[in-house]
Chains A and B, each alone.
Chain A
Amino acid sequence: MTRTLRFAGSAWLTALLLAGWEAMSRLRVLDPLFFPAPSTLLGTLRTLTVSGEIGRQVMYTLERTATGFGLGVICGVAASAVLTLSARLRRASEPLISFLYSTPRLTLLPMVMLLVGVNNTARILLVAMGTALLMMIQISDAVRAVNRDFVDMAVNYGAGRLAVIRKVYLPACLPQAFTALRLAFSRALVLTISVELLNCDDGLGSMIWNAWQTFAIEKLYVSIALAGALGLLFQWLFLQLERRMTPWKEQTA
């Protein structure tokens, strides 16, 4: 019952807006050529799904996102481990990291393409870079934030270096690490779609751009909605994973 109520509480505004859109489009308050009714778009979605185009494009996008994300997570975690161990390296790399972090990732695409060529590797590398930066900053931050009391306690009870890492640092960093994973995946997805929009022949991003170029307005809306839905879906999946892996945490809505 409360579940239904909670769902209703977070869905009514969206439903209202969609209904308003539908009504205005049908009553031609909005030009249906530019703003086709949601019900029409549902039909387009069905057609594009049956033709297999959506499945194909989504798979291209997910493949890039997942590869870049996976690579980025590995590199980011490894880098944060190195930076945690070496204070000198941490200080030396700080300006570079800050620079890269405050530069819009997408603007680095040409540079990456100069390095590895105009190909899929460049796109994936860019996504990996975005992921790695975020993971590195978040994980280093989490490690620094571990409460000294817990380390003291473990050492006092006889924990060696390895036990302190396994029993204190790892679990203490886990919640923030999962939050970082969730954020990083959504960044990776956004970055992939942006790159596809800018320079690619397949994937959701290129589907959006092509739809715009050919003025296939219904297809445009459907692919934009899909991009958003994919983001939502993965946010939710990562949140479930996080809850399962850190059962000791206070549940926040």
Chain B
Amino acid sequence: MSACTLRCDSLGVTYRSQAGKSMCALRELDIEVRRGEFVSVIGPSGCGKTTLLHILAGLLEPTAGSFQLFEQDGQNSRTALVFQENSLFPWMNVMENAAFGLEMRGVGKTERERRASRMLERLGLAGRERDYPRQLSTGMKQRVAVVRAFVSEAPLLLMDEPFAALDRQTRMRAQQELVELWESQRKTVVFVTHDVDEALILSDRIVVLSASPGTVLAEYRVAMERPRGFLCEPDEESYELKRRILASLGLVAELSQYSAAR
């Protein structure tokens, strides 16, 4: 049940493209995630963020370096993925989707439905258990995907821009809910996003990746107290942190050059 630690040692992935050219997606990546920590990975598109999650999920073998997942009881760690799109199986209803991880772990139907429905209720999805994904809004679909990840017993959650397709309000609510769930269950989370504000609201730590091939450019600890309402009333500390993150992504520099040119 407990959360795990994750360590990547100079992880690298080199693809061979169809033309036979080799393409380096990730290079010399060192990341450590402590148990129960919420880490966001941020970077420009194509920096290999998704590739990193696929490796951590065990769906892709790294071509260089290694990574380790530790769990307290020594069991092999399991991970739970949440995608931005195609996050739910269209042919399963909400309940079947939410309880899928438990089903694959061999948990009996009554027990898994009991656990899933408790969590579904918590996220305001009570009464929608028999609906199919096509009957849900994007926000609700992502909630169900989050529920599935949290009830799956996996200690490490891997989220690939799960809220990127949501409108601003739905997104803010989803972020709050995610933080609340995480605070009550203390799973380890690796959260990929390209939204600096989102990373600031959610994370304990932010890892900034460079453009292709992705490697760690900088790391920032987000020490602000939770719950974080600093989007409404930005304080000095978060403002400065955001500026530094944007600068390491090369975005602030561009802005200041732009204003200088004017």
Chain A residues at the B interface, C-beta cutoff of 8 Å = 147, 149-150, 152-159, 163, 167-168, 171-172, 174, 246-250
Contacts and interface: CB of A to CB of B under 8 A. Distances in A.
Contacts of A154: 100, 104
Contact of A156 (B81, B133, B134): B81
B134 to A, nearest CB: 6
A147 B133 contact: no
Contacts of A168: 89
Question: B interface, by DSSP: helix, strand, loop or mixed?
Answer: loop
Contacts, number: 59
Interface string B86-129: 11011111000000110011000000000000000000000000
A158 to B, nearest CB: 4
Contact of B134 (A149, A152, A250): A250
Contacts of A158: 78, 101, 104-105
Question: A interface, by DSSP: helix, strand, loop or mixed?
Answer: helix
Nearest to B93: A248
A55 to B, nearest CB: 41
A72 to B, nearest CB: 26
A147 B80 contact: no
Nearest to A151: B59
Interface string B128-153: 00001110000000000000100010
Interface residues of B, number: 27
B202 to A, nearest CB: 21
Contact of B81 (A152, A172, A174, A246): A152
A248 B58 contact: no
A246 B80 CA distance: 27
A226 to B, nearest CB: 38
Contact of B133 (A153, A163, A248): A248
Contacts of A152: 54, 57, 59, 81
A224 B76 CA distance: 67
A149 B83 contact: yes
B85 interface: yes
28 contacts: A147-B86, A149-B85, A150-B86, A152-B57, A153-B81, A153-B86, A153-B87, A155-B58, A156-B57, A156-B59, A157-B100, A157-B104, A157-B148, A157-B152, A157-B154, A158-B78, A158-B101, A163-B104, A167-B89, A167-B100, A171-B91, A174-B91, A246-B91, A248-B93, A248-B134, A249-B90, A249-B134, A250-B134
